[in-house]
Structure 1
Amino acid sequence: MLTLYHAPRSRSSRIITLLRELDALDKVNIVIVDITRGDGSGAKDPKNPHPDGKVPLLVHDGVVIWESIAIIQYLTDLFPEKKLAPVAGDPKRGRYLSWLAWYAGVVEPVLIVEAAGISHPYLQATFRGPKEMAQQLETALTASPYLMGDEFSAADLLLYSPFAWFPEATPDVPAVKAWIERCAARPSVQWAAEYDAAQQVAA
């Protein structure tokens, strides 16, 4: 049994999008929960077993998986037939895992630090900055339309997502902007937005 704890229009929305891409929505019980949001609205939901009251949270036969990167890797491994991630043993697997780790270790910290208006040499040395982040994306996306080559993958879904939420953080790089547009145009993205809107109306 798979259960996803989800709050509409939050970081867990990309997991909803992923489930649509994996054609796995009928295999997952989606539990809508409240969360405390950045604007002060919402609250920690007692229905949510996440210790911090956050989303996404995936439970599979009693095993709890948290953090978007872990959930994305778990689900793409669980449903390999959709080929949204290279399987173990595939020569591209290392590159794929590196993109997932780079998102958690560089992209989110860089975007959050920039949004907060914080600057310090330690931060720059550890996480790099927007310029270096943009260069990394530009190098990959100038060579191919997606991060893993010619085909869309879960790495694209994850890494494009913050720019969909915060377009002002989008690097001023044509190849990156075109990639974001390609990712945003996928039917799964529109479906997830409509799903979230319906859940908010129902609430």
Structure 2
Amino acid sequence: MPTLYHSPMTRSTAIVALIEEMGIADRIDVIDVTIPRQDGTGAPDPRNPHPEGKVPYLVHGEDGIRERGAIIIYLTDLFPDSGLGRPVGHLQRGTFLGWLFYYQGVIEPVLVLDFTGLDHPALTATFRDRGAVMARLEEALADGPYLLGAEYSAVDLLISGAFHWFPDLLTGHPAVKAWADRCADRPALKAVTARDAAALAG
């Protein structure tokens, strides 16, 4: 059975929500571990096999998968009937993969740089800027309520999560805000977030 190493209210929350959305919670073992947090709490957990002590980390047999985009591809390929991914041969397979890599390679770096106030021409040339990211999302959402059109998918879950952490970025972007709100209202995400919050509260 695949095993996911998770710490509440971290990047791994999206993967636990994905597991819930896919209806495969009985086929994935989720182990809660501690990690060092930005507020100074937490600590590395010796039970966590991630080489850097981070989450999420998925272990399946002898294989270890890190990074959310890679874990999303792995799980949605492993359980294609969930409909949250786009399997090999699907007409949207390339678009699905492109969004996952665009998130980790462009969106998240841009939003973190914007949040920290770091600015340099080399950074903008490499990663683009917030305006370019928002324009790309608005362009995609013009074709449907979700990034791949009519149906919610794992790319919506992953990418919308950034705006749950940085809601102020949605000001002036009503289409993106409406999409982020739709994604936040998913029962699976709400249930997992509530469980995570309760776990942190002790």
- The TM-score range, normalised by the shorter chain, is over 0.9
Spell out structure 1 runs of 4+ moving beyond 6 A: none
Secondary structure of the residue aligned to 1:30 is strand
Report which stretch shifted further, 149-158 or 40-49. 40-49
Q: Provide the C-alpha distance between the structure 2 equivalents of 1:110 and 1:195, rounded to a whole number of angstroms.
A: 29
Show the counterpart of 2:100: 100
Q: Please name the residue that 1:114 is paired with.
A: 114
What is the total number of aligned residue pairs between the two structures? 202
Cα distance change on mapping 1:37 and 1:45 into 2, 3 Å: same
Secondary structure of the 2:100 match is helix
Percent same amino acid at aligned positions?
49
Q: Which runs of structure 2 are paired with 1:5-24 in the superposition (5 Å)?
A: 5-24=5-24
Supply the distance in 1 between the matched residues of 2:62 and 2:168 (Cα, whole angstroms): 40
2:90 counterpart residue number: 90
Gaps of 5+ in 1: none
Q: CA deviation at 1:201?
A: 4.2
Q: TM-score, normalised by structure 1?
A: 0.96
Following TM superposition, by how much is the alpha carbon of 1:182 offset from its aligned partner in structure 2, in angstroms? 0.6
Alignment of 1:148-159 (within 5 A): 148-159=148-159
State the TM-score, normalizing by the size of structure 2: 0.96
Question: Is 1:110–1:128's contact at 8 Å kept on the other side of the alignment?
Answer: yes
Give deviations 1:71-126, integer Å, cap 9, x for gaps.
Answer: 01101111111111111011110011000010011001001111111000000000
Alignment partner, residue 53 of structure 2: 53
More displaced stretch, 161-170 vs 137-146: 161-170
- Residues in 2 aligned to 1:155 and 1:68: alpha-carbon distance in whole angstroms: 11
Within 5 A, what are the aligned runs for 1:150-169? 150-169=150-169
